[in-house]
Amino acid sequence: MFRIVFYQPEIPPNTGNAIRLAANTGCELHLVEPLGFSLESKYVRRAGLDYHDLAHLRVHPDLETALRALAPERVYAFTTSATRRYTDVAYEKGDVLLFGPESVGLPEHVQRHPAVTDRLRLPMLPASRSINLTNTASIAVYEAWRQHGFAGAR
């Protein structure tokens, strides 16, 4: 399946929701430290409900460690500054979908990292600043999964 990476996430309920997303789609969820919260936070647990044991979750101490663990897969960095749309990609199993912290998005040095295959964006109205982190990840995951006929789904 696909791999979701949250680089330095800040808001516990978003990560809890991403745990549910991973559990329900068969994706792996990778978190890159530092996290803006403890994974034991009641907000993470509440948003993730009883899906924590069903999700494949890994925490990495830094971006380089995460990218080594995910290599050699393609890495797509999601950012509002990209020009290519997320629907313009033919996703492959194992692709990495990389998202930045809620308050600032992916830093430029992460977007331009040599391991990043391409930068992608979701279309929005011009006056909009961003879409919620887990909503964005969900949209991207479901597009990638749709392209594979929702393999494994009931």
- Per the omega criterion (within 30 degrees of 0), is the bond before 34 cis? yes
Binding site: residue ranges? 100, 122, 130
Listed by start position, the domains of the chain span 3-148
The CA radius of gyration of the chain, in Å to the nearest whole number, is: 14
In degrees and rounded to multiples of 5, residue 71 shows phi and psi of -65, 150
Angle, CA 76 vertex, CA 115 and CA 120 arms, to 5°: 130
Residues 21, 12 contacting (CB under 8 angstroms): no
Q: Distance between the two ends of the chain, CA-based, in angstroms? A: 15
**Residue 16 neighbours by CB under 8 Å, 6+ apart:** 43, 44, 45, 46, 47, 48, 49
pLDDT (tens, 9 = 90+) of the chain, 154 residues, equals 999 999 999 998 899 899 999 999 999 999 999 999 888 767 666 655 567 778 899 999 999 999 999 999 999 999 999 999 999 999 999 999 999 999 999 999 999 999 999 999 999 999 998 999 999 999 999 999 999 999 999 9
Binding site for S-adenosyl-L-methionine: residue ranges? 100, 122, 130
Let me know if domain 3-148 sits in CATH 3.40.1280.10: yes
Q: What is the per-residue pLDDT for 54?
A: 81
Q: What is the per-residue pLDDT for 39?
A: 81
Angle, CA 63 vertex, CA 60 and CA 68 arms, to 5°: 80
Q: How many helices and strands in the chain, by DSSP H and E?
A: 5, 7
